[in-house]
C-alpha cells in the first residue's frame, strides 16, 4: 500500500478494499474527498494541479478496461492527456494475423481515444505484442517520451505479478508497467539516457488495475464515454464476444469509480 493518502488534483483517497466500494456506507467518505478537491480548486491552489498526463500501456484496450473513464474526467476538466502504446496489440486476435491486426487495432485505439477526448496517440516500434522485453531499450523509449510530453502525471496499467482477484498478470503488463515506473525516474536524471531529451520530473504515477488501489476517481458523469471508448475496440470485442457496457459495469460497480494505486508526493 502506498503511503499516499491525501486528496490531490488527480484523485481522492481510497481506504477501502475493491469490493467495499460498491457498498453505500463507504461512498460518503469518497464524496467528502471530492468536495475537498473542488474546494482546493476554488481556492486557486496550484499545489496539486494537474495540467498534462501521459498514459503508457502495453496494448490497445488496456486503458479502456481500466482508466478511460478517469481520462474523460480529466479531459472535461481541461487537462491535456496523451496516450503511448508500447505495441499495436497485434497478437491479440486469434482469428486475425498480426500484420492485419496491427493496422486494425491501431485504428481502433485512435477511435477509442477520441471518445474520451484524447487526440494524441503514439505507438512505439520495435516491441512485439506478447513478448515485450523489460530492459534498458524499453526504458529509454519510455523516458524519451516522458521528456517529450513533460506530464505531471504518468498513468500506467497493473505492473504487479497478480490481479486483485489472484490471477497471474500478463508478461507484457508486468514488463511495460515496471519499465514505466523505472523510466519515470530515469526521465528526471540527466545522466541516464542523456541523448533522449532534457530531464523532466514527473509528480505522480497512477497505476490502473492495481491490486493495491489508494485513490479513486468518480466516473459516474463519464461512464457512457468510457463505454463508447471500450466499444471502439470493435474487432477485438467481437473476437472475445464481449459487450462493452456489461464488462465495464462489472469492473467499475455502482456508483462507478476508477481506482488507482497513486505513487508520488
- Give the residues lining the site for Zn ion (CB under 5 A): 59, 62
Least distance CB 85 / Zn ion (angstroms): 10
Least distance CB 231 / Zn ion (angstroms): 17
Least distance CB 153 / Zn ion (angstroms): 20
Is the CB of 149 or the CB of 173 nearer to Zn ion? Answer: 173
Is the CB of 13 or the CB of 211 nearer to Zn ion? Answer: 211
Packed helices 68-76 and 98-115: angle between N→C axes, nearest 10 degrees: 40
Question: What's the alpha-carbon Rg for the chain, to the nearest Å?
Answer: 18
Asked if 55 and 81 count as a contact pair (C-beta separation under 8 A), the reply is yes
Tell me the C-alpha distance between 138 and 142, whole Å: 6
**Closest CB to Zn ion belongs to which residue?**
59
Is the CB of 59 or the CB of 147 nearer to Zn ion? Answer: 59
Least distance CB 7 / Zn ion (angstroms): 30
- Give the count of beta carbons closer than 10 Å to the beta carbon of residue 236: 24
Residue whose cell numbers read 502504446: 85
Is the CB of 8 or the CB of 54 nearer to Zn ion? Answer: 54
Least distance CB 208 / Zn ion (angstroms): 11
Is the CB of 144 or the CB of 208 nearer to Zn ion? Answer: 208
Amino acid at each position: 500500500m502506498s503511503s499516499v493518502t491525501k486528496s490531490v488534483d488527480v484523485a481522492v483517497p481510497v481506504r477501502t478494499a475493491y469490493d467495499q466500494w460498491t457498498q453505500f456506507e463507504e461512498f460518503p467518505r469518497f464524496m467528502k474527498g471530492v468536495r475537498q478537491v473542488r474546494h482546493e480548486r476554488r481556492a486557486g491552489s496550484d499545489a496539486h494541479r494537474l495540467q498534462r498526463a501521459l498514459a503508457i500501456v502495453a496494448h490497445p484496450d488496456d486503458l479502456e478496461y481500466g482508466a478511460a473513464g478517469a481520462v474523460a474526467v480529466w479531459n472535461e476538466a481541461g487537462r491535456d492527456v496523451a496516450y503511448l502504446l508500447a505495441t499495436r496489440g497485434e497478437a491479440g486476435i486469434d482469428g486475425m494475423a498480426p500484420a492485419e491486426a496491427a493496422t486494425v487495432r491501431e485504428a481502433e485505439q485512435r477511435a477509442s481515444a477520441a471518445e474520451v477526448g484524447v487526440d494524441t496517440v503514439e505507438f512505439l516500434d520495435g516491441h512485439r505484442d506478447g513478448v515485450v522485453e523489460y530492459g534498458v531499450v524499453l526504458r529509454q523509449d519510455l523516458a524519451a517520451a516522458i521528456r517529450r510530453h513533460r506530464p505531471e502525471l504518468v498513468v500506467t496499467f497493473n505492473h504487479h505479478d497478480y490481479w486483485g482477484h489472484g490471477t497471474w498478470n500478463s508478461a507484457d503488463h508486468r514488463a511495460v508497467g515496471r519499465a514505466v515506473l523505472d523510466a519515470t525516474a530515469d526521465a528526471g536524471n540527466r545522466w541516464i539516457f542523456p541523448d533522449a531529451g532534457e530531464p523532466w520530473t514527473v509528480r505522480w504515477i497512477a497505476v490502473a488495475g492495481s491490486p493495491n488501489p489508494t485513490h479513486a476517481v468518480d466516473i459516474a458523469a463519464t461512464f457512457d464515454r468510457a463505454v463508447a471508448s471500450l466499444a471502439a475496440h470493435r474487432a477485438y470485442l467481437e473476437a472475445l464476444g464481449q459487450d462493452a457496457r456489461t464488462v465495464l459495469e462489472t469492473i467499475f460497480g455502482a456508483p462507478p469509480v476508477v481506482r488507482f494505486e497513486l505513487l508520488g508526493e
